[in-house]
């Protein structure tokens, strides 16, 4: 199977040697998204809710560029610097996803790039 790179200007460009997403066959793997504003390439201002909302907006743009929607997401992994933000990130995620929800893992980490408080990656199956 051939590998197709998915890229869109409506989400932040990769800040390292990786792609926004890669499609192989009917599966799309999104790289982890942090709350960067695609226009300014800076971390969004605000609390964990604002950061989580920007992460899901970035993901939504990449998923759409791949010809899919959040209904096609089968797995997410959320990385949080502070696990006390778990409930707030759940609330924001519920604004973007509907039942049946994708599988998910949440991992507490010591730090994330650019001082972000949250990062999310996902797998899409078409």
Could you say which DSSP state residue 53 is in? H
User: What are the structural domains of the chain?
Assistant: 3-125 (3.30.1330.40)
Stretches in the chain below the pLDDT threshold 50: none
pLDDT at 105: 98
* DSSP β-ladder status, 103-108 and 73-80: parallel
pLDDT at 1: 80
Write the pLDDT tens digit of every residue in 67-78.
999 999 999 999
Are the beta carbons of 62 and 33 closer than 8 angstroms? yes
């Amino acid at each position: 199977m051939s590998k197709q790179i998915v890229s869109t200007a409506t989400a932040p460009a990769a800040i390292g040697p990786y792609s926004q997403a890669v499609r192989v066959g009917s599966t799309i793997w999104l790289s982890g998204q942090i709350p960067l504003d695609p226009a300014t390439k800076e971390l969004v201002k605000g609390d964990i809710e604002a950061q989580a909302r920007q992460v899901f907006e970035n993901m939504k743009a990449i998923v759409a560029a791949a010809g899919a929607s959040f209904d096609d997401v089968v797995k997410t992994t959320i990385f949080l610097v502070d696990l006390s933000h778990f409930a707030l990130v759940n609330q924001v995620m519920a604004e973007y996803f509907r039942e049946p929800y994708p599988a998910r893992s949440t991992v507490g980490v010591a730090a994330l790039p650019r001082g972000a408080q949250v990062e999310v990656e996902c797998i899409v199956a078409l």
